[in-house]
Amino acid sequence: MTKFLATRRQNILWISALVHRLSGLTLATFLPLHFLALGLAINGETQLEEFLRWTDWPIVKLAESGLVLLLVIHLLGGLRLLVIENFSWRNGQAKLAAAAAGISMIVAIVFLVRVF
């Protein structure tokens, strides 16, 4: 596995495809938990409010920021694919991939700073 990854890690587009896949997988795993949490409101406000108090913990805020990062990076990676697939070919994919990563990190950091 390490040899496999070592030979591919120089290809930024391969890495961005991996990030796209893993971020999607993580978001897809998070989604049912998100729905279950919101579903607590079915029995009125109190259960949801109790659950939401977990969001005061710094570690939870950090995790939320991570989720924002994953969401934005998955969106931008997907947008890059939509551009490749629907418009005529453009070179410079590596730059777009790097920009996607950069923008996602900025958004996630802004989120983190605001919730603290």
Partner 1 sequence: MNVRLYLWQRLTAVLMLPLILIHLAVIFYATSKGLKAADILARTRGSIAWASFYGVFVTAAAIHSVIGIRNILIEWSSLSKRGAGLLAIGLGITLLILGVRAVAAVVLP
Partner 2 sequence: MLDPQSELSVTLWRGAEDGAYQTYQVPIRENQTILDVVSWVQRNLDPTLSYRFACRVGMCGSCAMTVNGRPRWTCRTHVSKVANDGRLEIGPLENLPIIKDLAADMRSFFEKWQQAKGVFTPSRTRDDTIEAIKPDTPARVAVDEAIECINCGVCYAACDTVRWNPDYLGPAALNRAWSLVNDVRDAGNVERLEAIAADGGCHACHSHQSCEQFCPQTLNPTASISGLKRRATQAYLQGEIKP
Contacts of 103 (CB under 8 A, 6+ apart): 72, 76
Q: Closer to partner 1 at the Cβ: 38 or 98? A: 38
Q: At what angle do helices 93-115 and 12-39 cross, to 10 degrees?
A: 30
Q: State CA 2 to chain mean position distance.
A: 25
Q: Which of 5, 8, 11, 39 binds partner 1 (CB under 8 A)?
A: 39
Decide if residue 85 touches partner 2 (CB under 8 A). yes
Decide if residue 64 touches partner 1 (CB under 8 A). yes
Q: What three-state secondary structure class fits 11?
A: coil
Q: Which of 5, 7, 8, 38 binds partner 1 (CB under 8 A)?
A: 38
Minimum distance of partner 2 from residue 7's CB (angstroms): 4
For 10, half-sphere exposure in the C-beta direction (CA atoms, 13 angstrom radius) is: 3
* Cα dist from 107 to 64, 98, 104, whole Å: 12, 15, 5
Decide if residue 92 touches partner 2 (CB under 8 A). no
The site map against partner 1 for 87-106 (x = CB under 8 A) is --------------------
Decide if residue 93 touches partner 2 (CB under 8 A). yes
Q: Closer to partner 2 at the Cβ: 43 or 91? A: 91
